[in-house]
Amino acid sequence: MDKPSTDLPVAFTLNGSAAATESRIGERLSHTLRERLDQRDVKIGCNAGDCGACTVLVDGEPVCACLMATPQANGRSVETLAGLVKADPDARRLAESFQAHAAAQCGICTPGMMVTAVALLRRLPEPTAAEVEEALGGVLCRCTGYRKIIDAVCDAGRGVWPEPPDTGRVGAPIRKLDGLAKVSGQEVFSDDIAPGDTLVLRVLRSPHARAGFRFGDLEAFVAETDGIETVLTAADVPGQNLYGVIPGFIDQPVFAETEARFRGEAVAAVIGTAQAMQAFDMQSFPVTWEPLPAAEGISAALAPNAPQLHADRSGNIMCKGLVQCGNADTALQEADVTAEGEFTTSYVEHGYIEPEAAYAYLEEGRIVIHAGTQAPVMNRESMALILGWDEARVRIAPTAVGGGFGSKLDLSIQPLVALGAVKTGRPVRATYSRTESMQSTTKRHPAQIAVRIGAKADGTLCGMDFTGQFNTGAYASWGPTVANRVPVHASGPYRLTDYCAKSTAVYTNGPPSGAFRGFGVPQSAIAQESLFDELAAQLGMDALEFRIRNALTAGQPTVCGQVFEQGVGIKACLEALRPAWSESRARAEAFNAQAEAEQTPLRLGVGVAAGWYGCGNTSLPNPSTIKAGLRADGSVVLHQGAMDIGQGANTVIAQIFAEALGLPVHEMQLIGADTDITPDGGKTSASRQTFVSGNAARLSGEALRRQILVMVNASEDAGLAIDGGRIIVTDAGQTHEIDLAKLAPDEDGYVLRACETYDPPTRPLDENGQGIPYAQFGYAAHLAEVEVDLALGTVKARKFTAAHDLGQAINPLLVEGQVQGGIAQGLGMALMEEYLPGRTENLHDYLIPTTGDMPPVDTLIIEDPDAHGPYGAKGLGEHVLIPTAPAILNAIAHASGVRIRQVPATPSVVRAALREAGHD
Ligand code: FES
C-alpha cells in the first residue's frame, strides 16, 4: 500500500489553457509537466540544469523546468514547444527554418533549443549569429555541432530560409522526411511512450570498481516497503544471465551474480508504483558491499598480481589484432628520418542528450519492448537468450533515438524492464538518470599507443610500427571489433609497403568500452597524424604536401593488400584543402608576428590531418534487407528497418529507393523499424546504412520498377507516375496505364512488392591481416585553425575546413550536418572530454562542446564514386570525427611549438607542456 498522498494542488496556465494538478514538495516542474500533465514534448536530459533540454517559458522567460519546483509555477504562464508551434509566429518560423537547415538531427535537444530561441526572437527579432550563439549557450546538442541551429535561428529572425528543391532525387538536399515531428514536439522518444501509471523500475548499482556483495532479506524488504511490488536479481533471469555483441565474447551479466566488476554495474532492481518510486531511497535496499582490490587501467590490469576479471581469459587480455606487410623493422632502419612517440587517450562518454529509457509489457504471451536502439534485431536475439524464449516471442518496437553514436547498439535497460514485466505480469518502465547513464553504458576505449614511422629524404613513407593497447573495461562489448579494426586503419589512408600494427584489448575494472564513432580509429589517427607532422618538419616539407605525396591512390594496395580500382578519394580531399591551408597559414603568420611584437600571449595555429574508414563489418557478413510494396490505392510503402538515430537514414534510404523506382520521394510512406513488420536493416553502426541498406533499397526499387515495366513491356528508360490507383508509364512517346485495383493484393495488402538483400563483398583476413576487410572505404581530411593562449594553456577553435569523399552525396544538406556534428565530437575528444568514474559522472563535471566552442565549418564534398556503393555513395558517419582531434593537436603545435601526446588537451595539460618547453 502506498502512503497517503502528500501532494499539494497547483494551478497555472499551460500553453494558453488553465491547468490544475498536484505536486509533491520539491517536485520538479519538468516532472509535473511530463508525468502529471502528459506534456512529453518537455525533454529531460540531466535533471541538473546542465543540458537545457527541458527549457520552457515561464512568464515568457526561458527556464530549465528541472530546476524549478512546481509550486513556483503557481498562477504563472508556462509555455512548451508543442504549444508554441501551434500559435506563436516566432515558433512557427523556427519550425520551418529548423527543417530547411536540417537543424534537428535526432531531435531530442530541439524542444529546448527552439523554446530558448523563441525567447530570443521575442527580445531580438533579427539576432546576429553571435547573439544566437550566446542565447543558446545553455542548451546542449550532441548531434549537430550547433552551426545549423545558429543558421536556422538567424534565418527564422529574417523570415527567409533555403527553399527545398523540387526534386527528391539522389543528390538533392531535401528536408528530412521525419523532420516535422522533431520540430513540433511530437516525436516519441524512449521515455515518452509509457503511460504515467506504469510500474517504475530503478536499479541498484555497485558504488565500487570491484566488490563482492550480499543481499539481506529481500522478501521482508518488499513486504515492508510501501508501494514496492518486487525486486529483481540474477536469480530472476530465466535464460542466460549474459549478453554481448560478438560471438565468443558474450560476457556481461544483466545482474552481477557474486562480484561487481565496475562502478555502476547493476546488481539488483526495485519495481514499484510510480508514486512509491518517486520517493524511494535506494539507500534502504538491504545490501552489504565488500570492496575488493581493483584493476583500474591497463597497467594495473596487466600487472603480475592483478585480479583476473574473467577466468577464461588469461592475464586480462581479451583479444589481439595484427596487420603486417613487408618488413617494417628493416624499412625503418633504412629510413632517412624517423619519428616516434607514445600517446594516451581517455574514456570518452557518448553524451547523447537522451538517457536510456524503456517500456516493456506482455501481449499474448510475447514480450514487447519499446526503447531507443541502434540494433533492433540484435536486441531481439539477445533478449530471447536472456529470457530463455524463442525469438518469435520477442518484439522490439524502437522509439525515436535521442542520440546513440554507438552506445545504443548494446543492450542496457531493455533486459531490466522486460524481466520486470515478466515477473510482475504488468507493464514496467525505467529511465536512467544522467549519472546512471554515464556510469553504466559503454565508452570510447582509452588507449596507450606507441608508434614509429620512417620516411625517405624525398618525403616517401618508409616503414611504420604501431602497438596499441585498448582498455575494454569490465566486459567485451565491441572490444574485439576495435582490436581488429585498428591495425587495418592505423596506417591512415596512405601508401605503406612495410608495416606492422598490433593491438591488444585489455579487461579492466572500468566501465565497458564499446562502439563510439570510429571503433578505435580516432585514437590511432591521433598518433599517426601527429608523427606525420614531425616527419614533414624533419624533412623541411609542408605538412599538407607531405600527406598528398603519400596519399593512397586507386590501384595501390592498402596495408591489407586490398586494391581498389576506383573511389580512393583521399588525395582529392587533401588537394581540396590547399586554398584554405594557404589562407590560414598566412593569417596565422601575420597574427603571430603581431602578437610577438606586442608581447601578447595569443598565438594562431593551423593543423591538418586525414582519415579513412572501412564501411561495415570487418570481414564478416553484414546484410541488410529492405522491403517495399505498392497498394491498390497507389500508395508506395517502404519498410525501412535501418534505424535513423538522427543521421538521416530515413531520408537518405528513401531517396535511394525513390531514385531506383523512378517515383518522387515524397510519394513514399515510411514504415520504421519494428521487428514484427520490417525486415532486418542491420545495425546502425560502422557507417554502413547508406552503403549497405542503401544498396538493399536500390535493389528493391529496381525490382519493383522491373515488375512494373514488364507488365506493359516498356523499356528501361520509361518514366513512371502515379495517379490515384493507376500507374502511368510513359515510354518512347507512348503512354500505358496499370490499374492497380485489378491486381490481387497479398497478405500485406500489396499488389506489387519487392524485398531485396545486400551483403557487401568482403573476404576474411589471414594470419597477417591480409585480405579484403571492407568493400569500401570513405576518406576525409580536416584543417583546423586554433588560438592558443600561451599564458593560460587554453585552446579555442576558430575555423574548420573539412573535405570528405563520399562517392556520391545522396543528400548534401544532411552531409553538412553530419560533418559539423562529427567535428564537434572530435573537438570535445581533443580538448575537453574525459570520463573518470566517480568524478565526471554528470554534464557539469564532464564537459561537451557548447555553441561557444564550435566555430564555423566549411564543408567540401568530394565525389569519387565507389564501385559498390548505391550510385557510388560511401558511408560517412565515422569519418567525420577521425581527422578532427589530430588536426587540432597539429594546430596547437603550430601555434605554440609544443606537441601534446595525450587527449584531452585540457588547459592544464597544455600549460604543463608549455612550461616544460620553457614558456613561463
Ligand atoms: Fe541535438 Fe540530437 S539534434 S542532441
Classify residue 369: in a domain, yes or no: yes
Collect all residues with Cβ–Cβ distance below 8 Å to 830 and sequence separation of at least 6.
884, 885, 888, 889, 903, 904, 905
Number of domains in the chain: 4
pLDDT 10s digits, 616-629? 999 999 999 999 99
- Ranges of beta strands (E only) in 313-446 are 317-325, 337-345, 348-349, 357-363, 366-371, 394-396, 428-431, 443-444
Q: Is residue 274 in a domain? A: yes
Closest by CA to 624, choosing from 582, 686, 565, 568, is 686
- Report yes or no: 385 and 243 within 8 Å, Cβ to Cβ: yes
Cell, residue 110:
530541439
- Closest by alpha carbon to 489, among 374, 565, 570, 572? 570
Residue finishing a domain among 758, 790, 805: 758
Task: From 44, 51, 108, give the residue whose CB has the most ligand 1 atoms within 8 Å, as the site to mutate.
Answer: 108
Q: Which of 50, 54, 105 to mutate to test the pocket of ligand 1 (most atoms within 8 A of CB)?
A: 105
**CA–CA separation, 700 and 636 (whole Å):** 12
Looking at the CA of residue 105, tell me the nearest atom of ligand 1.
3
DSSP 807-861: SS-S-HHHHHHHHHHHHHHHHHHHHT----TTTS-STTTS----GGG---EEEEE
Which of 394, 425, 440 is where one domain is finished?
A: 440
Q: Which residues of the chain have pLDDT under 70?
A: 1-5
Q: 607 near 891, Cβ under 8 Å?
A: yes
pLDDT of residue 6: 72
CA of 126 to the centre of ligand 1 (A): 24
- Taking the alpha carbons at both ends of the chain, their separation in whole angstroms is 67
Query: What distance in angstroms lies between residue 850's CA and the mean position of ligand 1's atoms?
Result: 12
Does residue 724 sit in the same domain as residue 777?
A: no
| In contact, 368 and 417? CB cutoff 8 Å | no
Which pLDDT belongs to residue 5? 58
Cα–Cα distances in angstroms (integers) from residue 462 to residues 98, 205, 457, 473, 488, in the given order = 49, 51, 10, 35, 18
Domain shared by 432 and 358, yes or no? yes
Pairing of strands 795-805, 857-862: parallel
CA distances from 785 to 407, 593, 611, 884, 902 (A): 30, 16, 18, 11, 19
CATH of residue 33? 3.10.20.30
Tally: H helices and E strands in the chain? 24, 33
Give domain status of residue 227, yes or no: yes
The DSSP annotation for 530-581 comes to HHHHHHHHHHT--HHHHHHHHB--TTSB-TTS-B-SS---HHHHHHHTHHHH
- Please check whether residues 161 and 234 belong to one and the same domain: no
- 807 with 897, same domain: the answer is yes
DSSP 8-state class, residue 773 = -
Distance 646 CA to ligand 1 centre (A): 7
CA angle, 107 as apex, 349 and 163 as ends, to 5°?
130
Minimum CA distance residue for ligand 1 atom 1: 141
Q: Looking at the structure, tell me whether residues 779 and 909 fall in a common domain.
A: yes
| Ligand 1 atom closest to 103 (CA) | 3
Residue 333 lies in a domain: no
| Residue 466 domain flag | no
Please indicate, yes or no, whether residues 603 and 726 belong to a single structural domain of this protein.
Answer: no
Ligand 1: which atom is nearest the Cα of residue 104? 3
- Predicted pLDDT at 378: 96
My answer on whether 813 and 787 are in the same domain is yes
- pLDDT recorded at residue 920: 74
- C-alpha dihedral (377, 378, 382, 385), degrees to nearest 10: 60
Pocket test for ligand 1, best of 144, 349, 354, 851 (most atoms within 8 A of CB): 144
Query: Edge-to-edge, what's the strand order for the sheet holding 55-58?
Result: 17-23, 8-14, 77-79, 55-58, 61-64
Distance 141 CA to ligand 1 centre (A): 5
Q: Does residue 427 share a domain with residue 574? A: no
In a domain, 393, yes or no: yes
Mutational test site, ligand 1, from 98, 349, 353, 820, max ligand atoms within 8 Å of CB:
353
Report the atom number in ligand 1 closest to the C-alpha of 354. 4
Quote the ligand 1 centre to 821 CA distance (angstroms): 9
CA distance 493 to 558: 8
Strands (E), 615-712: 624-631, 636-639, 668-671
Ligand 1 atom nearest the C-alpha of 403 is 2
Nearest residue to 684 (alpha-carbon basis) of 643, 742, 633, 727: 643
Q: How far is CA 481 from the centre of its chain?
A: 17
Report the residue among 116, 136, 143, 407 best suited for mutation to probe ligand 1: largest number of ligand atoms under 8 A from its CB: 143
pTM over 0.95: yes
Supply the residue whose CA is at minimum distance from atom 4 of ligand 1: 141
- If asked whether residues 162 and 256 sit together in one domain, one would say no
pLDDT in tens, 438-448: 999 999 999 99
C-alpha distance from residue 723 to each of 260, 460, 635 (Å): 63, 62, 10
Asked whether residue 657 is assigned to any structural domain, the reply reads: yes
Domain that holds residue 900: 569-616+773-916
Residues 252 and 361 in one domain: yes
- CATH number of the domain residue 726 falls in: 3.30.365.10
Cα separation, 757 vs 778, whole angstroms: 22
Give domain status of residue 664, yes or no. yes
**Same-domain pairing of 367 and 221:** yes
Assess whether 846 and 733 both reside in one domain.
no
Task: Give 370's contacts (C-beta < 8 A, 6+ positions apart).
Answer: 190, 193, 194, 358, 359, 360, 397, 398, 399
Cβ < 6 A, ligand 1 pocket: 104-109, 141-144, 353, 403, 646
Structure-block grid coordinates of residue 797: 577553435
DSSP 441-453: S-EEPPEEEEEEE
Last residue in a domain, options 440, 464, 496? 440
Is residue 341 a contact partner of residue 527, using CB atoms and an 8 Å limit?
Answer: yes
Convert 510-539 to b/e letters by CB count within 10 Å (16 or more is b). bbbbbbbbbbbbbbbbbbbbbbbbbbbbeb
What residues does 738 pair with on adjacent strands?
A: 727
43, 46, 48, 53 alpha-carbon torsion, rounded to 10°: -30
- Measured in Å, residue 828 CA sits from the centre of ligand 1 at 15
